[in-house]
Amino acid sequence: MSNTLTVNGQDHTVDVDGNMPLLWYLRDVLELTGTKYGCGMSLCGACTVHLDGNAVRSCMTPVSAAFGKKVTTIEGLSPDGSHPLQIAWIKNNVPQCGYCQAGQIMSAADLLERNPDPSLDEIHAAMQGNICRCGTYLRIRSAIQDAAKSMQEA
């Protein structure tokens, strides 16, 4: 298997140990620091990115698991920050400290890709692995509902 992966549309040849967590590769090697380290144990969701379109916890994903695949981080979700979720996040003033928010948005983007019109229960179920110490959950849910509506109207 080739040791290359694509991150936000750009190809990279990996020259680090394939066991390095994808999160370290993104943050320390590629300097894409939008993706955060929270627990390092797949428990908080702060490190969520997309791997071939599916949300994964990059803290527990070895970089070798991404070889030959496409990784999308918060920096690549939209070239100009205009993804409907990002617009809805601003409209709803979702972030407080902001630390968890990239992971929240990446999980929400995965949800809306799979389910364009989620119920509140479905939003709750899909987002329950993303912890927010600031307690922005209600605004997150409102923003996801707003984004789903605007994506349906587009």
Q: Contact residues for ligand FES (CB under 6 A)?
A: 37-40, 42-47, 57, 59, 95-101, 132-134, 136
**Closest C-alpha to 111, from 82, 144, 79:** 144
Least distance (Å) between residue 13 CB and ligand FES: 25
Would you give the DSSP letter of residue 66?
G
* Angle at the Cα of 152 from the Cα atoms of 91 and 7, rounded to 5 degrees: 75
Between residues 26 and 46, which has the closer beta carbon with respect to ligand FES? Answer: 46
Between residues 24 and 99, which has the closer beta carbon with respect to ligand FES? Answer: 99
Least distance (Å) between residue 71 CB and ligand FES: 15
Least distance (Å) between residue 137 CB and ligand FES: 9
Between residues 97 and 152, which has the closer beta carbon with respect to ligand FES? Answer: 97
| Residue 50 CB partners (closer than 8 Å, separation 6+) | 56, 70, 71, 72, 73, 106, 109, 110
